[in-house]
Amino acid sequence: MKATDLRGKTAIVGVGLGGLPGVLNAAPNRSSMEIQTEAVHQALTDAGLKPSDVDGLFTGSSHAFMPALSTAEYLGIRLKISDTTMIGGSSFVGHLLPAAMALQYGLCDVALICYGSNQGSGFGKLKSMSEPQTYEAPYYPRHPITSYALAAARHMHQFGTRREDLAEVAVAARRWAQLNPLAFARDDLTIEQVMASRMVNDPLSKLDCCLVTDGGGALVLVRSERAKDFPRPPVYMLGTAMAHWHRQISSMPDLTVTAAAESGPRAFAMAGLAPADVDVVELYDAFTINTLLFLEDLGFCAKGEGGAFVRGGRIAPGGSLAVNTNGGGLSCCHPGMYGTFLLIEAVQQLRGEAGARQVDNAHIALCHGSGGVLSSQVTALLGDASTL
């Protein structure tokens, strides 16, 4: 038994979104569970399945203490296995691992990964179940932005990264969002506008921060041997790896290096791939600095060169590397935790159904989830049938 045995053994056969603008229901006065369930319904319909077909549940929540119990009860389903590993926003990319293992060992036959939140309409601001950290709280860090600001400041100090480089990330995300009818933020945006937006935690301004929106996402997974029995083209899990080194920012060993530097190489090793093989990149961009850190740590550029790498629209539509093609957390949606949306966008790209934002010849996608304050890192490589 080895990790590489999981390569290609699990297939995503259904994806669904909920609570986003455009074709889906973005009305106010919808609960987190209602938004999540809209996404679940869309994913199951996509897969040609009913709720009663689901016998494995992998979920997390910003509102429910025992989310697997709440979700299963709401759907009226009886489960053989559930897992609610909670490592922040990366949890749902992380759920690929227990889901793949449970499917592979026959502990379940249809695995559902899901999340939903009405964080935008329900709270109107970032709301977190996160407990205060005893040795940080006395200094009133604003959670979570202060932590990311400290990382950005250190990156700028150590590598000469500029605020314009951070702004370039926000503008690229917006340009992708303008191609996505489901994205929340689609107005024109320039580097100058990002630079001029209200400073929140130096060096991060309001437009360096992700949105606070509603949203739900769900995915249906089965063993690959059954994948061709489903209506949509299957997308295969080629490699997934997790790493975490700290919980609070004061315990992060080096604020310029995330544990993606470990999860990335392990995921690539499981998949038998390298960064140059990747056609589409979906990175958890809670703040603009994330994108730079993950491009570096995952090997798309050298450490410290993230700022230079993104200049000149390199990760925007028409650039040389397609990054955050749905508009990301910065411009598409960010309902408290964003992990499911990384996977769903990758699946849509690999199926070739991403419309105006479709990346040509997309066969391999990288999804990278981050949770906490750059704390938990999960990298997943997905591929279409040609990559098996």
Binding site for other proteins (CB under 8 A): 134-136, 138-142, 146, 149-151, 153-154, 157, 198-203, 248-251, 255
CB of 152 to other proteins, least distance (A): 8
Find, among 90, 88, 136, 92, the residue nearest to 111 by Cα: 92
CB of 387 to other proteins, least distance (A): 40
Find, among 161, 323, 131, 140, the residue nearest to 255 by Cα: 161
249/347 with CB nearer other proteins: 249
CB of 154 to other proteins, least distance (A): 4
106/138 with CB nearer other proteins: 138
* 370 strand-pairing partners: 377
151/323 with CB nearer other proteins: 151
153/195 with CB nearer other proteins: 153
**Own/partner long-range contacts of 318-323 (Cβ < 8 Å, ≥24 apart):** 319/172, 321/281, 322/279, 322/280, 322/281, 322/359, 322/362, 323/172, 323/281, 323/282, 323/283, 323/291, 323/295
- Say if strands 280-283 and 364-371 run parallel, antiparallel, or are unpaired: parallel
CB of 208 to other proteins, least distance (A): 12
141/328 with CB nearer other proteins: 141
Tokens representing residue 246 in the block: 């700290």
CB of 335 to other proteins, least distance (A): 25
75/249 with CB nearer other proteins: 249
Alpha carbons 169 and 209: distance in angstroms, whole number: 11
Cβ–Cβ under 8 Å, residues 342 and 93? yes
Residue 247 carries which DSSP code?
Answer: S
Tokens representing residue 229 in the block: 């029995």
247/314 with CB nearer other proteins: 247
CB of 201 to other proteins, least distance (A): 5
Q: What are the backbone angles phi and psi of residue 215, rounded to the nearest 5°? A: 160, 150
2/198 with CB nearer other proteins: 198
Alpha carbons 4 and 85: distance in angstroms, whole number: 22
Alpha carbons 130 and 143: distance in angstroms, whole number: 9
Cβ–Cβ under 8 Å, residues 225 and 234? no
CB of 143 to other proteins, least distance (A): 11
CB of 126 to other proteins, least distance (A): 15
